[in-house]
Structures are given as C-alpha cells and as structure tokens.
C-alpha cells in the first residue's frame, strides 16, 4: 500500500512569503512554480509546445488545436500543466476510456463511465527539456490518478524509441497498438492504478480543488535526471 506521504505534493500549500517593505515589494505575484489542471485558455500554449515537440520528430501532433480544446472542455480534470512564473513549461492531457485496448475512437472520445485514463500527450517546452520535468510531471499525474476512486489504470501509445522513457515511469508494454497515424505505428503501454485503497478513502482531501493549489518543488524533484 502506498504511503499517504506520496500525496503531499498535491496538498502542501506554498509557504507565505515574509512581509516586505512596499518599497521593495516584487512587481508581480505569480508563483515561482505551479501545477494545476489546464483549461481552454491554455489551449494555444499547449498546442504550440506540442507542435514544436512532435512535428520535428514524427511529423504528426497527437492532438490538433481543436482536439486540445475539445478535451480541455470535456474533461479538464484529466489534464495537468506545470507553470513557471505563469508560463506553461510542460503538460499532460488525458481522457477516460472504457475498453481493454485503445481503438481509433480513443483519439477523440471521452468516456465518463470508463475506468482507464488514456494519456494522449506529454510534452515539455524546448527550453525546459533535459531538466527532468517530463518524468516529474508524469509522476505527479500518476499520483493524482491514484486519488480518483474509479480509475483503475492508465494507458498510452508511443513510438518505439519512447518505450524506455515510459518504462522508467513504471509503464509496461501491452503490445502493438491497433491505431496507426499516416505511416506511424505505435506500442501500447499501461500502468496499474488500482490497489491504493487508503488513498482512495482520503481522495477528497487531495483531489484538485476548484481553485488550484500552488505546488512548490522539492529538492528531490530537481535531482531527477531525464
């Protein structure tokens, strides 16, 4: 059983800064680092990061701009964005799915009664890569999914060169994916979410609130190597 300590990144509030003289007060109040669900106002920033990350490598984006808006409207609670001083630097977008394996319908549909989270895309802004942000954000996302009582597993599809990256996050190969995009083929991978009863019983305390909490980074976060 997972220790509830693992949920602390989602509930620990940003410590209040000591009071300072108005003459030396900072001109802005944006948090240095914040993790929160995405919304439709973030869609353009999401798509710009995604397009740069994927077009140069595979020539295809997992989600087009209208699809980004589609999922951020239907199920924003299955998205997660990492912001540095208000700037989006990394994100994940997911939706619910209700079958054992992914089909082409999973690319555009959200199944509210499903127990599988389909992770459509994880991307990091080019100037923030090679800093461990991708693995850290995936870890936080999986911790969050463990708090949702109806979620039993997470699945994704990726090109073969990304399999080692997702294996490091705990994903296992499920087999060849039935979905193809243009001339690209994919491997389907999965991650078990079930078996965390203690955290599920306490999920209301660590679920994303209506007003997202500011989440400070820990020293451990910065030590992760990508």
Catalytic annotation, residues: 95, 109, 120, 122, 166
Most confident of 1-5, 50-54, 71-75, 194-198: 71-75
Residue whose pair of structure tokens reads 């924003």 in the numeric block:
76
3-class secondary structure, 200 = helix
Predicted confidence (pLDDT) at residue 17 exceeds the cutoff of 70: no
The terminus-to-terminus CA distance of the chain in angstroms comes to 27
Report domain extents, the chain. 33-155
Q: Which of 89-103, 193-207, 209-223 has the lowest mean pLDDT?
A: 209-223
Q: What is the CATH number of domain 33-155?
A: 3.40.630.30
Predicted confidence (pLDDT) at residue 196 exceeds the cutoff of 70: no
Q: According to the model, what pLDDT value does residue 5 have?
A: 36
Q: According to the model, what pLDDT value does residue 105 have?
A: 97
Mean confidence (pLDDT) of the chain: 80
pTM for the model:
0.75
**DSSP labels for 3-58?**
-GGGGHHHH-PPPPPPP--GGG--S----SSEEE---GGGHHHHHHHHHHHHHHHH
Q: What is the mean pLDDT of residues 63-79?
A: 97
Q: According to the model, what pLDDT value does residue 30 have?
A: 62
Predicted confidence (pLDDT) at residue 97 exceeds the cutoff of 60: yes
Q: According to the model, what pLDDT value does residue 56 have?
A: 65
Q: Cβ neighbours of residue 72 under 8 Å, at least 6 residues apart?
A: 38, 39, 40, 42, 43, 46, 79, 93
Express each pLDDT in 153-174 by its tens digit: 999 999 999 999 999 999 999 9
Closest among 148, 90, 149 to 123, alpha carbons compared: 90
CB–CB of 67/82 below 8 Å? no
Q: What is the mean pLDDT of residues 178-196?
A: 88
Closest among 29, 226, 18, 19 to 132, alpha carbons compared: 226
Predicted confidence (pLDDT) at residue 197 exceeds the cutoff of 70: no
């Amino acid at each position: 059983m997972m220790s509830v300590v693992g949920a602390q990144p989602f509930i620990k509030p940003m410590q209040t800064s000591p009071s300072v003289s108005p003459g030396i007060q900072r001109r802005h109040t944006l948090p240095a680092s914040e993790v929160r669900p995405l919304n439709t106002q973030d869609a353009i920033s999401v798509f710009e990061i995604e397009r740069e990350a994927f077009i140069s490598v595979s020539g295809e984006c997992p989600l087009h701009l209208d699809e980004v808006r589609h999922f951020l409207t239907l199920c924003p609670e299955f998205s997660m964005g990492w912001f540095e001083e208000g700037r989006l630097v990394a994100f994940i977008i997911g939706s619910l799915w209700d079958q054992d394996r992914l089909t082409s319908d999973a690319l555009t549909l959200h199944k509210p009664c499903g127990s599988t989270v389909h992770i459509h895309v994880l991307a990091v802004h080019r100037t923030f890569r090679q800093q461990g942000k991708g693995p850290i954000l995936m870890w936080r996302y999986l911790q969050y999914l463990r708090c949702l009582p109806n979620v039993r597993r997470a699945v994704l599809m990726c090109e073969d060169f990304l399999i080692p990256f997702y294996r490091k996050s705990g994903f296992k190969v499920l087999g060849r994916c039935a979905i193809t995009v243009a001339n690209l083929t994919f491997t389907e991978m999965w991650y078990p979410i079930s078996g965390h009863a203690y955290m599920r019983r306490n999920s209301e305390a660590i679920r994303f609130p209506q007003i997202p909490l500011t989440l400070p980074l820990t020293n451990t976060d910065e030590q992760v190597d990508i």
